[in-house]
Structure 1
Amino acid sequence: MKASRDIPNDLLESLKSLGLTKYEALVYIGLLRVAGATATEIHEISGVPRASVYPVLDRLAQKELVSVSHTTPKRFDAIPPARGIENLMRRIEMDAENALVALDAFYQEKDAEGRGNQELIWTIYGEENIKTRLGDMFRSAERSVEMLVAWNLLQGSVLSLLESVPDSVQVDIVTDNWKGERPSRFRVRVHPLGAHYETHAPPGKGLRYESSGVFLVDDARALVWMGSAGEQPSALYSESAGLVQFVRRYLTSVTEWVGPAGQ
């Protein structure tokens, strides 16, 4: 038997992306072409150096891509592709979950040490990135979540994120509209916040940032979301006293103007 030279390079690259080395990919593909083979035959089939064959087979067995007979000499067989890829994907998912837990531990340890008196304000671009930060804010809430937000943004992007807010946390929402039943756990104030502007705006010109919102969590973390139709949204996020105090005063003035919840 001769080593195969007709394996597409893109196939090798795909297997590499699933966690296989080049030698592992060559051995696995070679075994798929025969009904069991010895280490010597695998060397000839795959073109992998003889000294590397056994270490490669051991790793493929650990990855559940190869089965081993109990004969002398040992013979090796490839797990069928559908099951083999499923096994690789399961390992990738497990590795990803483990990495996420470990990385999140580092992330949660992050604090303001070494920042001195800097008032850091972060700019976030893109809806998914903003939603990720907002979701983190909601999940970490301990006392309160407050927001002044346009209904189309609330309905389209924010309501689903609010499901992660702990049950013990009070959620206050001021919005310009509400369609459907109001969740009993939220205190909702509905007021046509943009109506006055739109009434007196020049013909054909509406509210500039019609998909926008201001969010405050625990009087400690603030996010200002600015969005307009046809444009990529952006946001400002900060835990600095300056922006948090500004948002606190702004929300207080608006809620006092709008009146009690339920109006």
Structure 2
Amino acid sequence: MASLRDLGLSEYETRVYRALLRTGPTTAKELSRASDVPMGRIYDVLNSIEGHDLVRSQTASRPKKYVAVEPDTALERLLEDKRREAEETLERYEELVDVLSDELESAEPVEEQFWTAAVGENETLDLLLERLAAADETVVMVVADRSPQFDLGAIGDVVTERLEAAVERGVDVSVLMTPEVVESLPGSVGERYRSRLSDHPAFSVRTTENLDGTFNLVDGTEVVLQVSNPLRPGEVFAVIDLKDPAFAAEIHEEFAPRWEEADPLSF
């Protein structure tokens, strides 16, 4: 059940504010009885909720009287307090992330061969997005088949958004697709390409008929390879992420001449 305590008030503060709504203007002594808050605590509680601008006091009267601010106004003020606290907390976390990012990235990279895999539509997309976000220098994306990476509008958008973010941080991105894949892209992807990426010197898209398989090369050392479902061709079964500079170099040797022969994309 919702409570004023969920918005930051203590139990005593909640009792006092609710009692004031019932009693109307009243003194601290009367309010102590109406709210069941001990007289020894009532002034501290009143000062606290007055600090939240939830009550107003009539200082000219003797004894001093208090009245509750209207509920809509009180709730909006409590919400604003929480919003401000959330923004301050977010800023602290962002500063912490910046510090930790510099600290963690200063560590020497591990050069040993390593591979991992993901199975399932959501898991394969998560792995692809993770590796695109990790790119520091180059991304080569080859898409020969329609797949969940680009088949659905929302997924195509999020992949393109991640490529755009890579370009903005200085990564060179090259995308090679078949004309059939281009035709299957949602309109929102084409619009993002035309408005934000087509003129960017670090982003290039070309098309060619001569493609087999769908994969990504990251920083010239890592291959993110799509594995098709043998029972349902065209559907992704898994994605394998292999960090192996020698294998990545071989893949790039096969990619380079096909890239040179491909046609620049025109939406």
TM-score (norm 1): 0.61
Q: Distance in 2 between matches of 1:113 and 1:167?
A: 18
Q: Distance in 2 between matches of 1:105 and 1:34?
A: 47
Q: Which residue of 2 aligns with 1:151?
A: 150
The 3-state SS of whatever aligns with 2:25 is coil
The equivalences for 1:96-115 within 5 A come to 96-110=86-100, 111=104
Q: Which residue of 1 aligns with 2:264?
A: 262
Structure 1 residues 170 and 43: alpha-carbon distance in aligned structure 2, compared to 1, 3 A threshold: same
Pick from 22, 32, 36 the counterpart of residue 43 of structure 1: 32
Q: Which residue of 1 aligns with 2:9?
A: 20
Q: Answer yes or no: is the 8 Å Cα contact 2:176–2:259 preserved in 1.
A: no
Q: Answer yes or no: is the 8 Å Cα contact 1:151–1:175 preserved in 2.
A: no
Q: How many percent of aligned residue pairs carry the same amino acid?
A: 23
Structure 1 residues 25 and 102: alpha-carbon distance in aligned structure 2, compared to 1, 3 A threshold: same
Deviation at 1:91, TM superposition (A): 1.5
Structure 1 residues 113 and 34: alpha-carbon distance in aligned structure 2, compared to 1, 3 A threshold: same
Deviation at 1:158, TM superposition (A): 2.1
Equivalent residues, number: 228
Q: Which residue of 2 aligns with 1:91?
A: 81
Q: Distance in 1 between matches of 2:243 and 2:169?
A: 27
Which runs of no fewer than 5 residues in structure 1 stay unpaired? 1-9, 198-211
Q: Which residue of 2 aligns with 1:187?
A: 204
The 3-state SS of whatever aligns with 2:42 is helix
Q: Distance in 2 between matches of 1:136 and 1:78?
A: 55
Deviation at 1:192, TM superposition (A): 7.0
The 3-state SS of whatever aligns with 2:59 is coil
Structure 1 residues 65 and 151: alpha-carbon distance in aligned structure 2, compared to 1, 3 A threshold: same
1:173-232 deviation digits (Å, cap 9, x = unpaired): 3455234444313312345798x67xxxxxxxxxxxxxx97474x679998899999xxx
Q: Which residue of 1 aligns with 2:146?
A: none
Q: Distance in 2 between matches of 1:22 and 1:191?
A: 69
Q: Answer yes or no: is the 8 Å Cα contact 2:132–2:163 preserved in 1.
A: no
Q: Which residue of 1 aligns with 2:252?
A: 252
The equivalences for 1:1-263 within 5 A come to 10-11=1-2, 14-72=3-61, 73-110=63-100, 111=104, 134=129, 144=138, 146-148=140-142, 150-152=149-151, 155-162=156-163, 164=165, 166=168, 170-175=172-177, 177-178=181-182, 179=185, 180=187, 181=190, 182-183=193-194, 184=198, 185=200, 186-190=203-207, 214=216, 216=218, 243=243, 245=245, 249=249, 252=252, 255-256=255-256, 258-260=258-260, 262=264
Structure 1 residues 87 and 121: alpha-carbon distance in aligned structure 2, compared to 1, 3 A threshold: farther
Letter in 1 for 2:23: V
Deviation at 1:122, TM superposition (A): 9.1
1:132-165 deviation digits (Å, cap 9, x = unpaired): x958975x97755554563226524223445545
The 3-state SS of whatever aligns with 1:88 is helix
Structure 1 residues 87 and 262: alpha-carbon distance in aligned structure 2, compared to 1, 3 A threshold: same
Q: Distance in 1 between matches of 2:131 and 2:83?
A: 22
Q: Answer yes or no: is the 8 Å Cα contact 1:219–1:244 preserved in 2.
A: no
- Give the helix-richer structure, 1 or 2: 2
Q: Answer yes or no: is the 8 Å Cα contact 2:222–2:245 preserved in 1.
A: no
Which runs of no fewer than 5 residues in structure 2 stay unpaired? 144-148
| Structure 1 vs Structure 2 CA RMSD | 4.7
Letter in 2 for 1:172: S
Deviation at 1:37, TM superposition (A): 2.0
TM-score (norm 2): 0.60
Q: Which residue of 2 aligns with 1:3?
A: none
